[in-house]
Amino acid sequence: NAGVTQTPKFQVLKTGQSMTLQCAQDMNHNSMYWYRQDPGMGLRLIYYSASEGTTDKGEVPNGYNVSRLNKREFSLRLESAAPSQTSVYFCASSELNRVQYFGPGTRLTVL
């Protein structure tokens, strides 16, 4: 099992550019999550999807959109990147009330 995979691993964008971060899990989990991790701020939830077909905002959703493409895949889109979105982005998946499994992360720099 690959677990949770994320692409790309690294990305550099210019302010105003758009991009989509991809996440896939092969554990047949219903719930999927997107977090960002910043020094001094810890991990913060951006969006989550409780099940296929549903998405909800987390703590810091502004500037992001998500799509739960199917049970396996959950993408995060930055429509117009800003320097404040420079961060490490993690995708995770779980069953309800169970352990969350994390991907390796995407390191994004917005110039």
Partner 1 sequence: KQEVTQIPAALSVPEGENLVLNCSFTDSAIYNLQWFRQDPGKGLTSLLLIQSSQREQTSGRLNASLDKSSGRSTLYIAASQPGDSATYLCAAPNLISSGSARQLTFGSGTQLTVLP
Question: Is position 99 an interface residue for partner 1 (rule: CB under 8 A)?
Answer: yes
20-28, 63-71, 76-84, 95-103 -> range binding partner 1 (CB under 8 A): 95-103
Nearer to partner 1, 77 or 98 (CB): 98
- Report the amino acid identity of residue 81: A
Question: Is position 103 an interface residue for partner 1 (rule: CB under 8 A)?
Answer: yes
Bridge partners of residue 88, in order along the sequence: 37, 107
Question: Is position 2 an interface residue for partner 1 (rule: CB under 8 A)?
Answer: no
Question: Is position 100 an interface residue for partner 1 (rule: CB under 8 A)?
Answer: yes
Nearer to partner 1, 13 or 33 (CB): 33
Q: How far is CA 34 from CA 10, 96, 111, in A?
A: 16, 16, 22
Rg (CA), the chain: 13
Question: Is position 90 an interface residue for partner 1 (rule: CB under 8 A)?
Answer: yes
**DSSP one-letter code for 86:** -
